[in-house]
Amino acid sequence: MMKEKIYCIGIGGIGLSGLAQILNEQGNEVSGSDMENSEILEEMRKKNMEIFIGHDENYLKNDVNRVIYSSAIPDTNPELQKAIRLGKKMQTFPQAVKEFTENLYTIAICGTHGKTTTTAFVSLALLAGEKDPTVIIGSKLKEFGNKGYRVGNGDFFVVEACEYKRNFLNYSPNIIVLTNLEAEHLDYFKDLEDYKNAFKEFIAKLPADGFLIANIDDANVIDVIKDFHGNLITFASNNHSADFILDENKIIKNENEFGTIELQIPGDFNKMNALCGLIVGQITNVDKSLVLEQFKEFTGTWRRFEILGELAGMKVISDYAHHPTAITKTLAAAKDKYPDKKICCIFQPHQYNRTKKFLPEFGKAFLSADIVIIPNIYKVRDKKEDIEAVSEDLLIEAIEKAGTKTFKIKEYSEIKEFLIHHKNEIDIIFVMGAGDIWHLGEYLLS
């Protein structure tokens, strides 16, 4: 294959950074730009990849063969504009992934919640069977050397398939795992029906010999798969018509005990995510006992119930949850794991639009926490009317109305001071959200 000069706009994004590094490891000359420096970009520089901070048309050299850009990049981006003027081959991140996977057996993990952890379990199942997969995942994984990707020599490609802007419709999957469905990304999708239609379109892409693995505890999933006539494997914990049933830790198949899921990470939702990995292992002929042993060792992915350390005797946990359902389930799992402990959740809402659309749901999402701190709303893809329609104060009002004590504290130093001052009332600190709040976790431990 001819080696290329490739330029990536938005190269620091968790998905595009993975693909960029895979392409670089394959001998292509990959460079790119992003708005802010990060750990990921520093890693790339160590691999002699040229990385620019900010966006400027001069960064994009005339001899580049191909430009790959994140779907978060606006049309007005100067590098994008220059690439169009020069007539360069241009691809969005999902289009580039599609081209990359043309000769690979693709396993796509989709759904509203749990994609990253499910992608990890699927990858671990394939590794247990020595299938040597290539993987792009939306987080860093210890098993991948703390990277968000893995370069393998096998025939399998595992991808966390994002539905935003219907991006996943670019992929050609052989197996689809559908974890769950509820309204999300309402800055793009018109409503829940429009959102579900995107998933219907996606599963329609499966070939005749493909497989759909679907969670039939979820009414929206049942609706999406009702007209699917291909190879369907269902799983559930509350629906006894499923092919695989999770009963606490036991897996039941055809009314017989099939195995036991033992995990180090908390939450029944994670057992369901692991079950998806086991089912993919079954389809790809991996011995189930090897898979279940591998799962016992797994300690989780970056920012998914990730225990960072302690501040003045309080356990600090970092988590990516940013949708009301994910927050509710994560805090409930924490209460389950630490029943007698007092929880303080520092939550940074991700997007004004999402905060506005789900304000009542956010209000009730923190019932398992004892104290909530809101520093700010993280602005991303927000229009002026979104920003004017909602505020931290409105969110705090909604949470307090539901019954949880909530404080607005913006500065990291003041948050740290508050926590230390209240350490007799707090055992566990959650640093939660999908924006830049994860820096607070590092700050608290510094």
Give the rounded percent of residues in the chain with a pLDDT score beyond 90: 84
Cα dist from 325 to 268, 355, 378, whole Å: 14, 13, 19
pLDDT tens per residue across span 321-366: 999 999 999 999 999 899 999 999 999 999 999 999 999 999 999 9
Complete domains list, the chain, with CATH: 5-95 (3.40.50.720), 101-297 (3.40.1190.10), 306-445 (3.90.190.20)
Retrieve residue 21's tokens. Answer: 């590094």
- Mean pLDDT for 199-210 is 97
C-beta separation of 202 from 169 below 8 A: yes
Q: Is 320 exposed, middle or buried (CB count within 10 Å of its CB: 0-12, 13-18, 19+)? A: buried
User: Helix 39-46 to helix 14-25 angle, to the nearest 10 degrees?
Assistant: 10
> Residue 45 is inside which H or E element, if any?
helix 39-46
What b-and-e string marks burial along 224-259, b requiring 16 or more CB atoms within 10 Å of the CB?
Answer: bbeebeeeebbbbbeeeebbbbbeeeebbbeeeebb
- Mean pLDDT for 121-134 is 97
The DSSP annotation for 407-439 comes to: EE---HHHHHHHHHHTGGG-SEEEEE-SSSTHH
Q: What is the pLDDT of residue 164?
A: 86
> Residue 384 is inside which H or E element, if any?
helix 384-389
Q: What is the pLDDT of residue 44?
A: 94
Q: What is the pLDDT of residue 295?
A: 96
pLDDT tens per residue across span 156-169: 999 999 998 899 99
pLDDT tens per residue across span 12-27: 988 899 999 999 999 9
- CA-to-CA distance for 182 and 366, rounded, in angstroms? 19
Q: What is the pLDDT of residue 304?
A: 84
Retrieve residue 155's tokens. Answer: 């025939």
pLDDT tens per residue across span 286-333: 999 999 999 999 988 778 889 999 999 999 999 999 999 999 999 999
Q: Which residues contact 284 (CB under 8 A, 6 or more apart)?
A: 125, 126, 129, 131, 156
End-to-end Cα spacing for the chain: 47
Q: What is the pLDDT of residue 1?
A: 58
Q: What is the pLDDT of residue 91?
A: 96
Is pLDDT of 28 > 90?
Answer: yes
HSE, side-chain direction, 13 A CA sphere, residue 337: 19
Q: Is 79 exposed, middle or buried (CB count within 10 Å of its CB: 0-12, 13-18, 19+)? A: buried
- CA-to-CA distance for 357 and 359, rounded, in angstroms? 6
C-beta separation of 244 from 215 below 8 A: no
Retrieve residue 286's tokens. Answer: 């991996």
C-beta separation of 336 from 344 below 8 A: no
The DSSP annotation for 169-228 comes to: GG---SEEEE-------TTTSSSHHHHHHHHHHHHTT--TT-EEEEETT-HHHHHHHTT-
Q: What is the pLDDT of residue 351?
A: 94
pLDDT tens per residue across span 384-434: 999 999 999 999 999 999 999 999 999 999 999 999 999 999 999 999 998
Using 50, 70 and 90 to split pLDDT, how confident is the model at 79?
A: very high
User: Helix 115-128 to helix 288-297 angle, to the nearest 10 degrees?
Assistant: 130
- Mean pLDDT for 201-210 is 97
- CA-to-CA distance for 414 and 422, rounded, in angstroms? 12
